[in-house]
Structure 1
Amino acid sequence: MKIDYNKLFLPLGLISVVMLKETHAIPFESIKASLGKIETGYGADNTTFTANRPKYHLQGPVNWMNDPSAPWHDGEYYHIYYQHNPYSAEWGNMTWGHAVSKDMIQWIDKPLAIYPDQPFDIEGAFDGTILENGYQNKTTMLYTGVSHVPLGWRLPYTVGAEKQVLAYTEDNGDSWVKVGPVITAPPKGLNVTGFRDPYLFRSSKLDTLLNIKDPNSIYTTVSSGIQQDGPRLWLYQSNDWENWNFHGPMIAAPENFTRNLEYSSRLGYNFETASYVEMPTTSTKDEWTLVTLGVEGGRLIHDLHSAVWTLGRSFELLSPDGKEVQRLTPGLNQEMTGMLDWGNYYAAVSWKDPKNPDRVLLTGWIPEDIVPVTVNGVTNENNRNSQGWAGMFGLNRELEVIEIKNVSVSDPLVAIENASWVATTPDQDSKTVTVSTLAIRPMEEYKSLRKDCSLWSLKNHHSTASAIRKHKRNRVSIPGVSTRYAEIVAEFEFHEQSAPFGLSILESSEGQRHEETLIVYDPKQSKIDIDRSRSSLSRSPGYPNSTETGPLPLFKIGSKNGKVEIETLKLRVFIDNTVVEVYANDRFALSSRVYPTLSKSAGISVLVTKDVGVKQLDIYQNIDVKAFDRP
């Protein structure tokens, strides 16, 4: 069905496509007014609309948003686009939302950038990426245009349903001229599970491997899979943007394969939203290549979705086989694989910061975790449509290959194969090794959120029996702290046999009507939990109360005097109303959604035992920086 864009916002009775067209002329002025009207119309003063909304996370003004797409920098502003449904807070009508920022902290709404208004994308304009100095020397995009639905890795695939579409901008990314599909179908003869989300890049490394001499050489990956065979990441190459050569799979795996299930996800049945980045060599002499993957079918939670990374230092050149490999193809030799986030996080795109090419950033999507459930004809309260919006981006993250030095050779972790780390360098004394892994940490700019915050600090605290108040777990209450917008920085010292310890956040006073969310590290099982069993008093069906969990093995570090000690646990926790992001030891992330119902659910406590020391605890409470200046 063709979409009538003259009625784009008429369900709200607010603005028409005419106003959106006018915003192209003065985007920073008129679009703010337009989106302000949209938000006010939905009820900015309505508690249903505002109750669960975050403050400093990037999200659309109203309705549904999901995958981030096409981050780039125009010389003054960072741009980010996102999948958006202009009509509803449920998925559908995929249109490109757009926002810009000078610092990636505070953002400005821009006009909707791409509409599904052509035969090749009438069912949705899906993810894509941008390169500057591209087609006709313009800023250029490839995105997936969808002309047939439904799509799904468990469904029969309709050839031609997904096409990779070429487009360019002449107004700094506000609107895009669609040249048309340039990759019109999956590789011939293959029964695929999907064929979408092109990721554009240039690579002198691949040019050399493939003996390509043309200085205009460009590449794109396309995320895919083969029915009853497994997921695939296809590689294409072009010298002119319009004619693309199919090579073969950069990454191929059997169905639901895993390198190490304990420290990563299975690779499922279909890839989505893949990214390719040749990592800077600032922190390691090795030349690592990073591929991030959206995996479908790899785990049983969060709609069977997981966000995976894999790293390798070399490629195996695959020769044409008349089937999957049509031309010489560099297949990545994967040496370590892990999770970008163990929780509610998906569709992440990794990209080099154009202002600092030595920095690699990651932008991903955190969905809602409430779902409409109807019981006896009644739909649960506060479902996505009734609150008028759904989804946000997680905080931007910095990715880096780091080296952990002086890891004891006696540490059993060193001998584990196919994990999310690899022992790369034996140290001189032969009693220790250097371990490489992928660092995942919040973007440095988020420290600016601490400005004007109230700071509560504790250092070098060891609990005593008189200091601990029993409440299921031992805990130390923190007086004077009440916040639903905070950053917590904590470091704990402990023994391998210590009982679980951590933090309680978003907690109310004790009693029958008690809410709390627990962030707990278990040394014996080497894992971090976000325990949501008491996060919300709501018993409406569709609300989450399961525990989010992920492994964090800590290494045994040797010293010059021969003593071996386990790493301390270093946490950074971001609380933004109903979203919680937990980072640990610069190599672990776990995101979750929680939905407290009590206004007083804003307290914080420390969960400790006598053999656990709080080396540092800083609570920056009442963050007042907003991602958008909206009504």
Structure 2
Amino acid sequence: MASSCLPSFAWIFALFFFFFFSDRIDVVKASRRIFKNPDSAETGSITSTKYRTAYHFQPPQHWINDPNGPMYYNGIYHLFYQYNPYAAVWGNISWGHSVSTDLVRWTGVGLAIAPTEPYEANGCWSGSATILPGNKPVILYTSSNARKEQVQNVAYPKNLSDPFLREWTKPDHNPIIEPAVDLNASEFRDPTTGWLGEDGLWRVLVGNKIGAGGRAILYRSKDFVHWVRAKDPLSYSSGSGMWECPDFFPSDGGNKYVLKMSLDDTRTDHYMLGSYDKVKDLFVPDGEFVDYRRWPRYDYGNFYASKTFFDEGKGRRILWGWSNESDSVSDDIAKGWAGIQTIPRVVWLDKRRRQLLQWPVEELESLRRKHVRLHDVELGTGGLVEVKGLKVLQASGC
């Protein structure tokens, strides 16, 4: 929901896509731009599909926001996302679902989760996917009931023999995690992917806010159904505001961990590096990351509510993020869509073990068409060079 588009790090991606792609790929689409001198009424219209981005994920129509529960399962990539199946504005929030074999070309397979139960009266919100023993995936997600209390629920695939996992069911024992009386029930959401401790207990984090401080509440379970809140949060801060969409994962297979949070007050994604005490279940940030105002960001562009997953097929961690658009509500309604998912990126720890690095997934190279090469070009004072034979309409998305 940030309004800026391409400062700092995002400029790197804009330039990368400018030279990386040279033609339109009609795979996944989204975006709008204002044209001062349109060639015709059609090309100047915000409703023209010509100006939807071609390289970023987006369903054919309507509103999307947070990426949810991405996973690699039996050779298929699954991407779920917050989705309004009826309009290009936020509302009726459900889980859209698309599948891919290459992270580039996606096929929609309908809604995975939609609000059908009393505890979902105000929508099915963000969450994560976890692969349980026996190769059984489970979705853990937030919903908001009629009292606008946020609770956590699970959903399971209806048919594990379906390679696309098109249908999901909700057990009768939902909700499985409800806010205790000392928690802010209206700021209690976005459970993480679960991880299994050395004691055989599952662990998940839920974002929360008390006063002006954000924190990641820790829960443990033997069976992924009955959950007990830990005495202390995994981590917390004062003054940072609500922690949305927390994410927690080992960065290099060792004792360096990443705790990421989306700050609701600023609509920016930040992370800390540190060590994880598996006995006390405490995350200890590196010294330079104690002050939340110094937390590094994943991206300085329009990038929020991000989620990672581990791709077992290629042994890498992949990052998704949501980038909303700067259009007005009336423009969104007119063009029929709003929001995109950013290009999927691989993230890893730098050699100094002090920050995360990231780069678009290698599969994006399959989108290359006509190559444009420049040799022995001298840049003048302005540093601008005209590149001929290249269509750049689709290179302007964040």
| 1:253 Cα deviation after fit | 0.2
SS of corresponding position for 2:233: strand
| 1:76 Cα deviation after fit | 2.5
Cα distance in 2 between the residues matched to 1:314 and 1:142: 23
| 1:186 Cα deviation after fit | 2.0
CA offsets, 1:490-514, max 9 Å, x none?
A: xxxxxxxxxxxxxxxxxxxxxxxxx
SS of corresponding position for 1:199: coil
Cα RMSD of the aligned pairs, angstroms, is 2.7
Cα distance in 2 between the residues matched to 1:390 and 1:125: 18
| 1:340 Cα deviation after fit | 0.6
Aligned residue type for 1:92: G
| 1:314 Cα deviation after fit | 4.0
1:273 counterpart = 2:245: yes
Larger radius of gyration: 1
| 1:227 Cα deviation after fit | 2.0
Aligned residue type for 1:235: L
Cα distance in 2 between the residues matched to 1:169 and 1:188: 32
> Could you tell me whether the CA contact under 8 Å between 1:200 and 1:218 is conserved in 2?
no
| 1:436 Cα deviation after fit | 3.1
SS of corresponding position for 1:116: coil
Identify the match of residue 156 of structure 2 among 158, 168, 183. Answer: 168
CA offsets, 1:115-143, max 9 Å, x none?
A: 10110112101112122235x97321111
> Could you tell me whether the CA contact under 8 Å between 2:235 and 2:282 is conserved in 1?
no
| 1:112 Cα deviation after fit | 1.3
> Could you tell me whether the CA contact under 8 Å between 1:182 and 1:242 is conserved in 2?
no
CA gap 1:314/1:294 in 2 versus in 1, 3 angstroms: same
Map 1:435-454 → 2, pairs under 5 A: 436-450=354-368, 452-454=369-371
SS of corresponding position for 1:474: coil
> Could you tell me whether the CA contact under 8 Å between 2:275 and 2:283 is conserved in 1?
no
SS of corresponding position for 2:174: strand
| 1:162 Cα deviation after fit | 1.0
Map 1:226-237 → 2, pairs under 5 A: 226-228=210-212, 230-237=213-220
Aligned residue type for 2:90: W
Identify the match of residue 243 of structure 1 among 198, 202, 226. Answer: 226
| 1:448 Cα deviation after fit | 2.2
Cα distance in 1 between the residues matched to 2:53 and 2:125: 25
1:365 counterpart = 2:322: yes
> Could you tell me whether the CA contact under 8 Å between 2:118 and 2:146 is conserved in 1?
no
Cα distance in 1 between the residues matched to 2:131 and 2:140: 12
| 1:479 Cα deviation after fit | 4.6
Unaligned runs of 5+ in 1: 1-42, 150-157, 256-267, 298-303, 318-327, 373-378, 404-433, 486-575, 580-590, 592-631
SS of corresponding position for 2:373: strand
Cα distance in 2 between the residues matched to 1:309 and 1:272: 12
Q: Which residue of 2 aligns with 1:344?
A: 302
| 1:481 Cα deviation after fit | 4.2
Larger strand percent: 1
Q: Which residue of 2 aligns with 1:483?
A: 391
SS of corresponding position for 1:480: coil
Identify the match of residue 188 of structure 2 among 180, 195, 212. Answer: 195
1:291 counterpart = 2:259: yes
Identify the match of residue 384 of structure 1 among 320, 332, 351. Answer: 332
Q: Which residue of 1 aligns with 2:107?
A: 108
CA offsets, 1:537-582, max 9 Å, x none?
A: xxxxxxxxxxxxxxxxxxxxxxxxxxxxxxxxxxxxxxx3541xxx
Cα distance in 2 between the residues matched to 1:80 and 1:231: 27
Cα distance in 2 between the residues matched to 1:147 and 1:191: 14
Aligned residue type for 1:288: K
| 1:190 Cα deviation after fit | 3.2
Percent identity, aligned pairs only, is 27
Cα distance in 1 between the residues matched to 2:79 and 2:300: 24
Map 1:87-236 → 2, pairs under 5 A: 87-133=86-132, 138-148=136-146, 161-171=149-159, 172=162, 173-179=165-171, 180-191=173-184, 194-204=187-197, 207=198, 212=199, 214=200, 217-228=201-212, 230-236=213-219
Ranges of 4+ aligned residues in structure 1 off by more than 6 Å: none
CA gap 1:578/1:88 in 2 versus in 1, 3 angstroms: farther
CA gap 1:197/1:439 in 2 versus in 1, 3 angstroms: same
Cα distance in 2 between the residues matched to 1:435 and 1:125: 37
Cα distance in 2 between the residues matched to 1:332 and 1:193: 27
Aligned residue type for 2:267: H
Unaligned runs of 5+ in 2: 1-41, 290-294
Map 1:49-60 → 2, pairs under 5 A: 49-60=48-59
CA gap 1:95/1:400 in 2 versus in 1, 3 angstroms: same
Aligned residue type for 1:339: R
The alignment covers a number of residue pairs equal to 346
Highest relative contact order (Cα 8 Å, sep 6+), 1 or 2? Answer: 2
1:402 counterpart = 2:322: no
SS of corresponding position for 2:363: helix
SS of corresponding position for 1:91: coil
